[in-house]
Amino acid sequence: MNIVVTVKQVPDTWAEKKLDPSDMTTDRATVDNVLNEMDEYGVEEALLLKEAHGGEVTAVTMGPDKAVEAVRKALQMGADKGVHLCDASLHGSDALQTASALAKVIAPLNPDVVIVSSEASDARGGVVGALLAEYLGLPQLTLARKVTADPGGGTVTIERQTDNGYATVLGKLPVVVGVIEKINEPRYPSFKGIMAAKKKPLVTMTAADAGIDPGSAGPSGAYSEVDEAQPRPPKAAGQVVKDEGDGGAKLAAFLADQKLV
């Protein structure tokens, strides 16, 4: 199977996330950046599919120079090839532009399955996967907590997480599959994998290489725009309940007050 997995480099989960005040885009320069944790589940699922059915895994990212590290991490984990779409004109793209650009890169790869994770921990829009499927004109199976492929029969079946259980959904190849956290346990890259990654093919593409219209790229062509941002207000001091023999009753009253019980 020809499997494509999208990856993204994001500010480290523990880093303080900020917007660059000059253009209201994510500040990636002053923090440690890592592979989006959720994407590790996607890479792992792609590798599991490859291990079960053969084929090849290509990791694709769009982002600035350093974003290539996300692809490299996927290669270290075991992906076979990488593509990095990197162009200054793409800086500040919104979700629609990002999905459209990724589709331009992914479509020529003729994937059987495109794996995306449910969200990136920086913007947390959680929509790029769905938009990507639209731009690719492919069906999408989302919120997968289990994926089973039948390449012979040309289908993929997933268990789709719902509020109170799961639904079994079948889709025809080629298909976009969105995986949720905890679908698997992402492997640690093996040292052999780390050493082999350096020799794996990794292509860097410009917007022009990908056939992206320069006029449509960047903030000027964006469908959405961040006008203003406020840091989350600091946590208000908690309410201390003093136990004078009636602590239990007071706690219960508090919970009832908040409509928690």
Partner 1 sequence: MANATAGQHPLSLFAIDSILDEEEKAIRNTVRRFCQERVRPHIAGWYESATIPLRDLARELGNMGLLGMHLVGYGCAGATATSYGLACMELEAADSGLRSLVSVQGSLTMFAIWRYGSQEQKAEWLPRLASGAAIGCFGLTEPDFGSDPGGMRTRARRDGDDWVLDGTKMWITNGSVADVAVVWARTDDGIAGFVVPTASPGFSAPEITRKMSLRASVTSELVLDGVRLPGTAVLAEAKGLSAPLSCLNEARFGIVFGALGAAQDCLETTLAYVAGRTIFDKPLAAYQLTQAKLADMTLELGKGMLLALHLGRLKDAGDIRAEQVSLGKLNNAREALSIARECRTLLGANGITLEYPVMRHASNLESVLTYEGTSEVHQLVIGHALTSQPAFR
Counting contacts by CB under 8 A, is residue 190 touching partner 1?
A: yes
Task: Tell me the site size for partner 1, rule CB under 8 A.
Answer: 14
Q: How far is the CB of 196 from partner 1 (least distance, A)?
A: 10
Counting contacts by CB under 8 A, is residue 194 touching partner 1?
A: yes
Counting contacts by CB under 8 A, is residue 182 touching partner 1?
A: no
Which residue type is seen at 246? D
Q: Which of 151, 235, 226, 184 is nearest to 77 (CA)?
A: 184
Q: Closer to partner 1 at the Cβ: 188 or 254?
A: 188
Write a three-state SS string for 212-250.
CCHHHCCHHHCCCCCCCCCCCCCCCCCCCCCCCCCHHHH
Among 29, 192, 211, 253, binds partner 1 (CB under 8 A): 192
Q: Closer to partner 1 at the Cβ: 172 or 198?
A: 198
Residue 86, classed as helix, strand or coil, is: coil
Q: How far is the CB of 50 from partner 1 (least distance, A)?
A: 18
Please report where in the chains the tokens 């731009």 appear, as a residue.
135
Counting contacts by CB under 8 A, is residue 235 touching partner 1?
A: no
Counting contacts by CB under 8 A, is residue 13 touching partner 1?
A: no
Q: How far is the CB of 144 from partner 1 (least distance, A)?
A: 24
* Conformational region of residue 191, where left means phi above 0, alpha means psi within -120 to 50, and beta covers everything else: alpha
Q: Which of 190, 218, 247 is nearest to 76 (CA)?
A: 190
Among 29, 52, 195, 253, binds partner 1 (CB under 8 A): 195
Structural tokens at position 206: 């410009």
Q: Which stretch binds partner 1 (CB under 8 A): 2-10, 69-77, 110-118, 151-159?
A: 69-77
Q: Closer to partner 1 at the Cβ: 168 or 190?
A: 190
Counting contacts by CB under 8 A, is residue 187 touching partner 1?
A: yes
Counting contacts by CB under 8 A, is residue 188 touching partner 1?
A: yes
Torsion angle, alpha carbons of 160, 42, 223, 87, to 10: -170
Cβ contact 75:56 at 8 Å:
no
Counting contacts by CB under 8 A, is residue 145 touching partner 1?
A: no
d(CA 69, CA 41): 17
Q: Which stretch binds partner 1 (CB under 8 A): 71-79, 126-134, 164-172, 240-248?
A: 71-79
The residues facing 117 across adjacent strands are 179
Side-chain half-sphere CA neighbours of 55 within 13 A: 20
Residues binding partner 1 (CB under 8 A): 72-73, 76, 187-195, 197-198
